[in-house]
């Protein structure tokens, strides 16, 4: 029975990834971000894999809009933020998810009236600044490996 449940869950995630892809394709600015090695299918499948809440997928799946996509991106971003802090080194697809999350957070802060979503967007943007600071520190450490003090 567990195998059937697991296959069903993977099927739902694949369908969810397909719907996310169709939603993202409509965004012209977002399409420009997929000129590198990571394509939109990879990105949406990684996002679907990061979302472990089957009920959340069901709730959002048939009602994709800017707010619901931001909420999905927020969940993905939190997991990736923690991964970056604890282990370092996100994959290209994961890094792209953090960039898209920032873009949607900026948009949500301006366009979505829901106060909870605005607070979530502000927190995401604040943590993004912390992540940028971490990247700068790491880059500085790599440059100064041979320097003597």
Contacts 24+ apart (CB under 8 A), 49-54: 49/13, 50/75, 50/76, 50/79, 50/80, 50/97, 51/13, 51/16, 51/75, 51/76, 54/9, 54/12
Q: What is the pLDDT of residues 86-97, one digit of tens each?
A: 988 899 999 999
Tokens for 67, please give them.
């707010």
Could you tell me the residue ranges of all domains in the chain?
2-138
Q: pTM for the full model?
A: 0.84
Task: Judge whether 112 and 120 are in contact, CB under 8 Å.
Answer: no
Listed as ranges, residues in the chain with pLDDT below 50 are none
């Amino acid at each position: 029975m567990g195998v059937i449940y697991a296959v069903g869950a993977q099927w739902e995630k694949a369908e969810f990834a397909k719907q996310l892809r169709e939603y993202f394709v409509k965004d012209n600015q977002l399409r420009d971000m997929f000129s590198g090695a990571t394509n939109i299918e990879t990105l949406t499948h990684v996002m679907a894999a990061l979302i472990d809440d089957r009920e959340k997928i069901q709730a959002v799946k048939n009602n994709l809009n800017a707010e619901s996509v931001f909420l999905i991106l927020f969940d993905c971003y939190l997991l990736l933020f923690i991964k970056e802090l604890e282990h370092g080194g996100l994959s290209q697809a994961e890094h792209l998810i953090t960039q898209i999350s920032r873009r949607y957070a900026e948009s949500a802060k301006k366009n979505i009236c829901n106060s909870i979503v605005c607070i979530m967007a502000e927190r995401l943007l604040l943590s993004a600044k912390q992540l940028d600071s971490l990247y700068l520190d790491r880059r500085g450490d790599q440059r100064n490996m041979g320097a003597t003090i």
